Each structure stands twice: as structure tokens, then as C-alpha cells.
Structure 1
């Protein structure tokens, strides 16, 4: 094996998109979390040779299998049947963590149509996604962020992705208030500026943030606020003055190029009231998507994604016991698939499935 490797040309776009999929808003931010320098990171992402150890480390940091994406310049090239690594990303049924790759997201077609309609024309409009715990709010935010720019070969056949006329012009910024770094006004503002490819001063104050964003934001930008209730409850630096400033940007200062979509278990106004906030920021959300169970058609589409088809009677049982709630569907499908892969017979998987979903049936 050569002492240096480079990404094969056909995988460069896939590797670059892995930055966003893994939550890195820029190459610079990614370089802060790995051993190689920023210059090495740039070489890696542009398909230039980098040291073997660095190549492997960068692949691992992005959740990529280095053997699948490097350019083999020897006399024994890899088999042309090497599979796309993204298709081996995870189990088809994902439980306990948000779904971050759009291939594994199902349903919410009505909500997606309404949300993207708010974002494809000027001015961009704000929206709130409301639902109980584990109903899929975070997964929906990730889907909004990724679906329009994910290469078609990484999606399911026929999966709609042309929601926006010029998706490459959009900047999506995902803010997770469970990340304690977002409790600092300075770090949060710096994170947003970096994601917008704008200069981040040290320190980064609110006045500077307002000046630079109002003057230089000329392309559509959507800020996704996840677990905003945590931010309101635990982050005293994010006071009404802070939220007033964000409202001003969205409504008056950016020419209709900025929108906020937040995820919360209750309405933004109720959430603000319960946490002692009175900023008018929380009344700019003109559309609310209420998330509940999937439709039966959507639930069947998820079930049918199993690599091993389920018997008809098992599909009927899963629909009944899950009530088409996404998490319960995922758990029961996972248990059925496991039993089929192991060659098990009988209905023991049903008993295990009911045990697994029991803690989540009262949410």
C-alpha cells in the first residue's frame, strides 16, 4: 500500500457532502476536530494525495470506509462491483437516534410539501414543528437540511428530492441546544457565522453579528433550531434581547433571505411563556407542522424497505401494534428483521417486540 492516498474522483462529492452529514459546517471546523491540519483536510477533500495515516483518520471521522473511496493506482484496481459505502451506512430500521441520512426517512409528505413551499419563494417564511417526544422532529429537521442536495444514487428509487428550484443556493444551519456549547451566545453566534462563510471575530458580539449578517446575507438561509426548549430553560445568555435581534434579522434586515424552523413539544408562544420569555420572536412562526402517527401508506412504505420481505400477517400485526407511530414501527420492524436473518421460527419476536416498545407507548 502506498504511503499516501487520495480520494477517487467519483467519490469527491460524496466525501464533501459527508462534512454536512456529520454536523461540520465548514472545512475549518472539521479540521479543529482531527489531527491533520486545515491544508491537509483541503487536499483530502479535493482529491489530492495525503499521508496514509491521515487519510484513514479523516475517513473514520466522516464515517467513511477508506478502502471504498481511495483511488487505487496499482495494477490491481478494486472490483467494479465495490458497493457504495453510503448504502451500508446503518440498519434499515433505526431506533434511539435521529435519522440523519434521507434514504432512511419515511413519510411526512404533507408536512414536507408545506414547509418547502414556505422556503422556495421570497420572502422565506418561518415554521414550527410540534410533536411529542420521539415522534421524529429532529429527523425531520435533518431531512429538510439534506434531501435537496443528496445525490440521487444515495436515495431510494423514486424518492422525491426536487423540492427547491435552486437547492445549491441554500445554506442550512442546524443548531442543537442540547450541545452545551450553544448555551454561550458568543459560541452560538460564531457557529452561525462560520456556517454562513462569514468572518468570525474573537470575541463575537451580538452587535457585530447583526451588522455583518444584515449587510452580507444575500442567499437563502434556513436556521434549524432543535430542542429550543432546552435553550430557553438552561441558557441565560439567550435572553429576550438576543431573540429580539434574531426576529429583526428575519423580518426586516435580510431582504427575506433568512428563515427559522424550530422543533418543540409545544407552541412557541406557550414555550416562551413557560420559560419566562416575552420576545416577539416567538410569534413569527406562521405555519405549524403537528407531527403524529404516519399514514398507513407511509408506514407500509417503511415496512416494505426491509431487505427481507415480511409475511403479510406480520405486516398487519406491526401496523396494529405500532399504531403507525414511527419509533414503534422501527422497533417492531427491527425485531422481525432480526428474527428472519437468524432463521428463527415462531412468534417469539412478537413478544420481544412488545417488550421493546412498552417504555415508549405512553409518550
Structure 2
């Protein structure tokens, strides 16, 4: 068996379709299920060589016969280093499979969030913080805003921290080198760590600062908008996280007095509350402009339905929202399904929504699989789905369930995210 293998070119679209068929809306979700890095999954889906055992595991999870889709007609011995260590050069591949770049996804605008984000990043040395659970449209929002800024001549980089290998996250020096090289690659700039990284007499944070100040920022008079997505990937690594986030805060403060740093505009995107212990004056999470993406309103659901060709009245909108709330991903899944399956009515879709045979079956089963791996989350979710009002959970349990989008967080208390989740998990736990 070769050490590395890749998806044959003629099967790439089939493999990507399998990801959607298995209800993995993001590459990150597939990576987390299999405990692989986002870079490995991204390489696999784009026909780049990956470790053979990882290739087989990915195919099995997606219901594919690995020997059928594999391309053995390349020199795997020369590709081993690439398969195991490469960071993908093409950062334009977004981790959301159904987000703005996909033809079947419609981003639901939630004014004035879009204009506020754009206006904030037009300001020198600005910092924007975007928070919302998974599948709420954070990445889509930033793709829209970055595209608008790029059209105005700004340099833009969107870097998802799930592209970092786990080994990159455990040591500050290694992580900052990966960070610098990744930003440079996104800008089409050469790796010049050897010229700016003083291993003997400087610190990792100073080296990283010099790399930005003397190379990445100095390369152009245009502002650089740097969007860091999924920053919660760093949260479990307390020391690296506190040093890195402290560095971002220091850069933001530098912009108040130094022109070179006025060119840097930072965006920090995360799914839930920050639980890393950070000093008040060393945190980027208590400065800048905060934005929380809300659920969509009935009027926005109605507009989305119109895009799919449906003239729903508010009663029909309420019928769907009583089941899935204002979750944009769940609403769009319903609209898309009804457009394709013209023999299915909205009433039928809602009636079967929380069942294994319903349109959300794969989506719900994926969450059920995750919950089963964590007994503490299972017990916490049992409490939530059997309580009609708010309930207080242990902080880490609330954090994890909220990040997944299964619950709403209000202060120190949570409620179930929508009736779809209550009905499905009550049945799974045997409460029906």
C-alpha cells in the first residue's frame, strides 16, 4: 500500500457531492468528526495527496469505495512530504461548502451588520469581532465584506485556523511561523522567514511583529484586512492562545501611534464566548467593534422563500419557523428541498422534519453521533430538551452546545435552539 494517495480527477466532483449528501455543511465538520486537520480534508477534496490511512477513513465516512476513487498513477514517494506536511496554497477554498461561492447558497443580509462591518474596516487600525454559533453565516458575511473591500483596492486575507495542523498549535514559535507564512502565501508573497526570524536573540512574538512590520505590511501602501476565522481552534491551548491574542491586541494598540500599523485591519471570528484567561489589557475580545449575527426574521425568511420562487404568507413562514426557528442554514435547506421536490408540501416537510426520514436526518444524526461521544454533553442536552424554560449548565457544557448551535445562550442560562432539536433529541433519549 502506498504511503499517500489522492482522489482521481474524474471523481473529485463526486467526492464533494458525497460530503453534501452526508450533511457535512462545512469541511471543518467532517474534519472534526474524524479528528483530522482541515488542511488534510481540504487536500483530499481537491485531489491532492493525503496519507493513505486518512484517505481510506475519509472515503469510509463518505460512503465511497476508496479503491474506486483513488488515483494510484502518480509518484507517491515524491508526494509523501506534500501529503503529510503541506499547507494548501490556495486559501480561496472556503471551509463552508454551501456558502457564498456555492451557486445554491444565498447569504441572508441582516442590516445594518453588513454596512457596519464594511465601514469599520475602512478605518485605520480597526478591529472587528464577529461571534455566532456554527452555520449562522459568519464566513459568508466576511466573504461578502472582504470582496467589497478588495474591489476598493484593499489587500485581503481570510485565514481559517483549522488549516493549521495540531502540531502547529502546541508551540508558540511554530504557530507564529505558520501564521506568517500562511498570510504571506495568501498575498502571493514568498516565504522570507529566514530573513526576518532571529532564532538566537529575539522572541517569537517580536519576530512575528517584525515580519509583518518590515515585510508583509511594508510591501504595499494599501491597507491589509486580515480575517482570522475559527479562532476558537486555539482556545484549548491556553499558553499559545494567550500569547497570540495578546499579540493581536498589541498590534491594535500600535495602530494608535504608528502609521505602518494603521494599515492593518483585524477581524476575529469565533463561535461562542471566549474562555481563555486573558488579562484585560491583553485581550482583543474587549476592544474594537463587536458584532453578533442574529437569526433571520420572518420577513427575511419570506424574502428568501421568494428567491426560491415561493410566495409564502406569514402563516406559512411561521409554520416553518415554529420548527427550525430563524436558523439561516435550516431555513435554506427547507427552501432548497421544496424547490427540487415539487411534490412535497411545506406541511409535509415540517411534519417529518424531526424524523430520521426527514430532510434534516443526516444533519441531526451527525449531531447525535457527536453527543454520543461525550457523556457529559448528553446529560446536559437531556436536561435542556426536557425543560420548557431556561436552564443553567456547567460553563463548558453550555459553551460546547452553543458553539454547535444546539442551544441559545442568555447570560448563564440556555434554552434549546429550536423545536426541531427538542423533538429529535427527546425521541433519541427515549422521552417521547
Normalised to the residue count of structure 2, the TM-score between the two structures is: 0.49
Following TM superposition, by how much is the alpha carbon of 1:169 offset from its aligned partner in structure 2, in angstroms? 1.1
- Cα distance, 1:229–1:216 mapped onto 2, change above 3 Å: same
SS of 2:227's partner is: strand
Aligned partners of 1:246, 1:129: CA distance in 2, in Å? Answer: 15
Aligned partners of 1:295, 1:345: CA distance in 2, in Å? Answer: 22
Following TM superposition, by how much is the alpha carbon of 1:187 offset from its aligned partner in structure 2, in angstroms? 1.6
The match for 2:263 is 257
Aligned partners of 1:311, 1:131: CA distance in 2, in Å? Answer: 28
Q: 2:307 aligns with which of 305, 322, 325?
A: 305
Report 1:197-276 matches (<5 A). Answer: 197-203=188-194, 205=197, 206=204, 207=207, 208-210=210-212, 211-213=214-216, 215-234=218-237, 237=240, 239-240=242-243, 242-252=244-254, 253=258, 254-267=260-273, 271=274, 274-276=275-277
- Cα distance, 1:275–1:238 mapped onto 2, change above 3 Å: closer
Aligned partners of 1:310, 1:352: CA distance in 2, in Å? Answer: 22
Following TM superposition, by how much is the alpha carbon of 1:197 offset from its aligned partner in structure 2, in angstroms? 3.9
Q: Deviations over 1:138-164 (max 9, x none)?
A: 222222223x2xxxxxxxxxxxxxxx6
Gaps of 5+ in 2: 1-26, 28-42, 49-88, 91-95, 170-174, 198-203, 368-405, 408-415, 418-432
- Cα distance, 1:169–1:346 mapped onto 2, change above 3 Å: closer
Aligned partners of 2:262, 2:113: CA distance in 1, in Å? Answer: 22
CA contact (8 A) 2:246 2:284 kept: no
The match for 1:154 is none
Q: How many residues align?
A: 248
The match for 1:172 is 156
- Cα distance, 1:353–1:338 mapped onto 2, change above 3 Å: farther
Aligned partners of 2:101, 2:329: CA distance in 1, in Å? Answer: 16
- Cα distance, 1:145–1:168 mapped onto 2, change above 3 Å: same
Normalised to the residue count of structure 1, the TM-score between the two structures is: 0.57
CA contact (8 A) 1:175 1:226 kept: yes
The match for 1:99 is 99
Gaps of 5+ in 1: 1-21, 23-29, 36-60, 63-95, 149-163
CA contact (8 A) 1:190 1:200 kept: yes
Report 1:1-363 matches (<5 A). Answer: 97=97, 99-101=99-101, 104-121=106-123, 123-146=124-147, 148=148, 167-181=151-165, 183=169, 184-203=175-194, 205=197, 206=204, 207=207, 208-210=210-212, 211-213=214-216, 215-234=218-237, 237=240, 239-240=242-243, 242-252=244-254, 253=258, 254-267=260-273, 271=274, 274-278=275-279, 280-283=282-285, 285-306=287-308, 308-309=309-310, 312=313, 314-340=316-342, 343-344=343-344, 347-355=347-355, 356=360, 360=406, 362-363=416-417
